[in-house]
Amino acid sequence: MVRTRFIVSAVVVSGCTALLGCSNGLTPELHSYSESEEQYRHRHARVVNNNSRLIWDDLEQVFLVNRTSRLHRFPAP
């Protein structure tokens, strides 16, 4: 009886450790495989900044306001 309890508890403890793993991890300072949380935030902010600036260039081209009209034979200043 005591031996079976010991075996069951050992199996349960080893199973929980295998499923949960270490909570600290080997590299807790990394957000992903190669970036820390701060590097991730800087990269994300840079991408959002570039995309928001590029959308205005795209909208200017869609609405044809990025250059003067070429319909007249004399160029507009």
Q: Which of 40, 24, 22 is nearest to 32 (CA)?
A: 40
Task: Tell me the backbone φ, ψ of residue 30, rounded to 5 degrees.
Answer: -90, 140
User: Which tokens hold the place of 61?
Assistant: 């081209």
Q: What is the pLDDT of residue 55?
A: 94
pTM of model > 0.85? no
Which is higher by pLDDT, 28 or 46? 46
Task: Give per-residue pLDDT as tens, 41-62.
Answer: 999 999 999 999 999 989 988 8
